[in-house]
Structure 1
Amino acid sequence: MKDDEIVRKAKRDLDRLGRDGGLSATPVLKSAAGGLRDHFAAEDADKSDRIELWGTRIARGLALAAFVGLLWFLVGQFL
């Protein structure tokens, strides 16, 4: 009897979480996307130094382009 109560309570809790959005990955994805945007926008760089700010942005963009190029090359080689 006690196990049935626990199962019913767990199902009610899961249904409530599903309705309220507690099981959604959206907040996690928004946080990750915001962190990625901040990284490539060089939010951690010194805002008063425009050269450092734009140098950081350019370097991170070039690093992303190099990564995509390397990934493209490796996929072409091994697939």
Structure 2
Amino acid sequence: MVDRDRDKAAESRRILERISREADTGGASLVSRATKRARNHVSATDADQDDWIEQWGTRIGRVLGLAICVGLLVWLVMFLLRGA
């Protein structure tokens, strides 16, 4: 019974330490982290850096997707403000 309690306590400490490490942001705010993630996503940092066609194709596709999303959002706001 004592070994079981000791194992549970050790596991709890490991879980809490892992959560603490994951939650530690190094002082970066939520906005700055979100901005960095969005910039990295649009600039295609996750694409193959050796294949320039894939890299530029990914960038163009993501920028077009962002532009379409913003355009639809503007259209929706204008539609709702007209009282339709």
TM-score normalised to structure 1 length: 0.63
- 1:68 corresponds to: 70
Partner of 1:20: none
Query: Which residue does 1:41 correspond to in 2?
Result: 43
Alignment gaps of 5+ in structure 2 = 1-26
**What displacement does 1:77 show?**
1.1
2:61 to 59, 62, 68: 59
Which string of whole-angstrom CA distances, capped at 9 and with x for unpartnered residues, describes residues 8-63 of structure 1? xxxxxxxxxxxxxxxxx853222211111100110000000100000000000000
**Identity value in percent:** 47
Q: Compute the RMSD of aligned alpha carbons.
A: 1.5
Could you tell me which runs of 5 or more consecutive residues in structure 1 were left unpaired when the two chains were aligned. 1-24
